[in-house]
Amino acid sequence: MIFEGSAAAVVTPMAENGSIDFKAMGKLLEFQLENGTDAIVVNGTTGESSTLQDEEKYKLIEFTVKRVHGRVPVIAGAGSNNTAHAVELSKKAQELGADGLLEVTPYYNKTSQKGLIAHFTAIADSVSIPVILYHVPSRTGMTMEPETCKVLSQHPNIQAVKEAGGNISHVARIASLCGDDLDIYSGNDDQTVPVLSLGGKGVISVLANIMPRETHEMCRLFLNGKEKESLKLQLDLLDLMNALFLDVNPVPVKAALSLMGMCGENYRLPLIRMSAADKAKLTETMKRHALI
């Protein structure tokens, strides 16, 4: 198992000119580690990986690995819709000390289910660290069928799937087909407890950026047999989970971190700041949870 509990899909802090703010990144990582986060995911969707150059990704992985210093696993986003590029990114992430890899399904050009098997097998064959498949059809336009997960789960390096499709029946089918051969992590904060109830191992979380302790606790309560307490926490935080998606991720969560004084509210185009009306809703929700 790569990790159990809550992995924070951390943002990439940026200065006003768009450059990476490594000072703020260090601050965010320490905030995570001081508050019980079980793993760190860098260069994911929330980290604006699509507008980071390869060298920037490598610097972020290297910085994160050094700052975390083995306290929790570091999982590096290394996906691409170009298999050869994904292999290159994955091998470099392993070289830089990543403990695991997050590999998204090919986007835009997409592929068949057989193509998915070939794509992920080529990546997994190129490294010796664990691979987490990343299924997020709303962003990629690509559905990975449970039967495909079953085939891929037989590869010794493919150990888990981040399931962000929002379809609990789909998750149940993966769990039924794959059993212990493939760990399942929720890719949606609002479905953490439902996925755990199907045998999931935790969540790769946006919420954890601003509430790492509570996200960790929600998972830990469930895994320790305190399902009702875990569910209560899930429902108590639902309004905040929803507020973090008032705009395209990671726009709201960066705005939230800015309100908390953790990093600047800066993005790379095509992402822009959220509207004043939506930010007011986010601010009010954060106030209800005593975050600001």
Residue numbers annotated as active site: 134, 162
**SS3 letters for 158-226?**
EEEEEECCCCHHHHHHHHHHHHHHCEEEECCHHHHHHHHHCCCCEEEECHHHCCHHHHHHHHHHHHCCC
Q: Which helix (H) or strand (E) segment is 117 a member of?
A: helix 113-125
For residues 122 and 87, give the distance between their C-alpha atoms in angstroms, rounded to a whole number: 7
Are 222 and 26 spatial neighbours (Cβ–Cβ below 8 Å)?
A: no
Are 103 and 75 spatial neighbours (Cβ–Cβ below 8 Å)?
A: no
Residue 50 buriedness (CB in 10 A; 0-12 / 13-18 / 19+):
middle
Neighbours of 127 (CB within 10 A): 21
